[in-house]
Structure 1
Amino acid sequence: MADEQPAGEVLIVTGMSGAGRTTAANALEDLGWYVVDNLPPQMLKPLLEVTGFAADALPKIAAVVDVRGRGLLGELPEVTRALRDGRPVRVMFLDASDDVLVRRFESVRRPHPLQGDDTIVDGIRRERAQLASIRESADIIVDTSHNNVHQLATRVVDLFREDGEARHTVTVMSFGFKYGLPPDVDLVADMRFLPNPFWEPELKAHTGEDEEVRDYVLRQTGATEFIDAYATALRPVLEGYQRENKRHSVVAIGCTGGKHRSVVTAIELAERLRSVPGVAVRVKHRDLGRE
């Protein structure tokens, strides 16, 4: 039929206030999901009908539904069953123990949304009663009692990233110190301990992307040893970034003008880092082509 829309994956994120819905939603957004926050359950079907027209651009949709919808939340199980007739739908319920939730609300000095004139504990109990049937029918239950925001984000990434999808992207960037440090750099290495090909007449006009310059740089004392050692040192760093759910980093490799030594080193280092599991590697030459 002409009006039939392609079916994409749908995830409903719900659960206890203070259990980490915002953190989970941010992690899903980083994975490429289209996230809608504070959506009344009755709006799920119209949302999916509208986004169906952009199915290729929005193949994965996550909707955060919670008690901010007031009395509407009780209709979520019925709405979910209706949606499942046409699309793959899962419900993820985030939970935590009462004492942990109390501490979290107290730490941010905000009232529970169902607290009213009573205590935080009263609000939590009311919310648990409202969400009991939703929790019981959820496809995924995540207890965040012992997770900080970084650990929870990592759990969400583990649950929803596709097989083979990188958990961290590192950009290995060559640059010239004479043009200043890159502003967004995480780690910097200085290749000015190697002889500069710029002073070799036959190499001056070439760059580190050319075989002649590459061979010259790599045969210098300490060049290959440094690259191998730096790649080895970066491996636990990149693995740690994944555990802490740091999605991107920049490793900057500098030389005087960013044309020869840093370019060769960036290319060689990137090649070695591609063996680190869960890491996607990009190479960027910031100052290549400058006079």
Structure 2
Amino acid sequence: MTSPNPVSDPQQRLLLVTGLAGAGKSTALDVLEDLGWETIDNFPIRMLERLVGEPGEAAQDASSASRAPLAIGFDSRTRGFVPAEIIEIIKSMAARGDLDVTFMFIDCKTSELERRYNETRRRHPMAQERTVQDGIAAERELLEPLRRWADVVIDTSELSSNELQSQVRGLFGKEHQAEPSLTISSFGFARGMPPLADLVFDMRFLDNPHWIEDLREKTGLDDEVGAYIERDPAFATVFEQVKALLLTVLPRYAAQGKAYVHVAFGCTGGRHRSVFTAEGMAQALREAGFSPTVRHRNLKSRATDTIEGANES
């Protein structure tokens, strides 16, 4: 058996996931799918060798980068579920040099499983006409050989769904998890708030270039406007504080599996202060290793005293 962390070699990554019904197997598979794994749930384990192919085929596919890591979910409801036979199949697969096999078991205390089934009013798959407690006990006894044999055991008794997702990302997402898609935008408050921004920073405390005649028709993309904004004593301090905040929270968003992050900078008309700040912040984040997309919503809007005056403090 191998380490649960993905590795960069020609072997086909194969993760087998099982556990008690209601413990969180489906949640784990959903996270793996988000991380770029190909996932199949309730797969007949006796067909595993047919799925991955003959020895050598998996390595050839993986080395040509045509195959994503593969996660297979199965449990007591899966056809042909015989733990002793499953262990022998997994042993055979793990012995192959072209496969990198990891076996994960999702466990949970009986009392917590009872609570979950009572809350959802679902019937336990092994309860039949018996109580939930009897069904859980029967399944636990059936699965115990697989639990003892697993490479990775996650007990979800005290975990929320988000905490389980974080654990799976920590174990299997280091090489495959992409950073969130990051957008840095500028906008004008006078023309409405951006509807989907995660973080909004108001730059209207800065001196407004609109009221400088030579700068009014220019934008935050012009050097003269940028120089004027930078002369404001508050700009550098606030810019560094916002940058420090973003460098702190962006990795946390990634760790929580957030796929999209939108950071918006606003000023009155959306043409000067917000544009200059958004451009500068995007460049600072690029230097820190991020890859933001920059959008200026109101850059081409008409500069008018009515808009700027109505919203200046």
Q: When the two structures are superposed, what TM-score results if normalisation uses the length of structure 2?
A: 0.76
CA contact under 8 A between 1:168 and 1:280: conserved in structure 2? no
Q: Which residue of structure 2 aligns with residue 63 of structure 1?
A: 72
Name which of structure 1's ranges 258-267 and 9-18 shifts more when overlaid on structure 2: 258-267
Name which of structure 1's ranges 245-254 and 95-104 shifts more when overlaid on structure 2: 245-254
CA contact under 8 A between 2:188 and 2:270: conserved in structure 1? yes
Choose 1 or 2 for highest CA Rg: 2
Q: Taking structure 1 as reference, are residues 107 and 240 closer, same or farther at Cα in structure 2, changes over 3 Å only?
A: farther
SS of the aligned residue for 1:194 comes to: coil
Kindly report which structure 2 residues correspond to 1:23-38, keeping only aligned pairs within 5 A, or say none. Answer: 23-38=27-42
SS of the aligned residue for 1:220 comes to: coil
Partners of 2:13 and 2:291 lie apart in 1 by 28
Q: Taking structure 1 as reference, are residues 210 and 63 closer, same or farther at Cα in structure 2, changes over 3 Å only?
A: farther
Partners of 2:24 and 2:287 lie apart in 1 by 33
1:144 maps to 2:153? no
Q: How many residues end up aligned between the 2 structures?
A: 284
Q: Which 5+ residue runs of structure 2 have no aligned equivalent? A: 1-9, 302-313
Q: When the two structures are superposed, what TM-score results if normalisation uses the length of structure 1?
A: 0.81
Partners of 2:238 and 2:30 lie apart in 1 by 38
**CA offsets, 1:140-191, max 9 Å, x none?**
1111111111111111111112269666665332223354333221221222
1:184 maps to 2:188? no
Q: Taking structure 1 as reference, are residues 207 and 283 closer, same or farther at Cα in structure 2, changes over 3 Å only?
A: farther
SS of the aligned residue for 1:67 comes to: coil
1:9 maps to 2:13? yes
Counterpart of 2:103, as a letter, is: V
1:135 maps to 2:147? yes
Q: Taking structure 1 as reference, are residues 176 and 34 closer, same or farther at Cα in structure 2, changes over 3 Å only?
A: farther
Kindly report which structure 2 residues correspond to 1:1-291, keeping only aligned pairs within 5 A, or say none. Answer: 7-49=11-53, 55=62, 56-72=65-81, 74=83, 75-84=85-94, 85=96, 86-162=98-174, 170-200=182-212, 202-204=214-216, 206-234=218-246, 237-238=249-250, 241=253, 245-270=257-282, 280=290, 282-287=292-297, 290-291=300-301
Partners of 1:237 and 1:147 lie apart in 2 by 23
SS of the aligned residue for 1:68 comes to: coil
Q: Taking structure 1 as reference, are residues 290 and 29 closer, same or farther at Cα in structure 2, changes over 3 Å only?
A: farther
Alpha-carbon distance, 1:229 to partner: 2.9
Partners of 2:215 and 2:77 lie apart in 1 by 66
RMSD (Å), alpha carbons: 3.3
**CA offsets, 1:204-229, max 9 Å, x none?**
55543444333222222322222223
Partners of 1:225 and 1:184 lie apart in 2 by 27
Partners of 1:289 and 1:236 lie apart in 2 by 29
Give me the identity figure in percent.
38
**CA offsets, 1:34-82, max 9 Å, x none?**
2222222134334334996975254212121122214435343233233
Counterpart of 1:124, as a letter, is: I
CA contact under 8 A between 1:151 and 1:243: conserved in structure 2? no
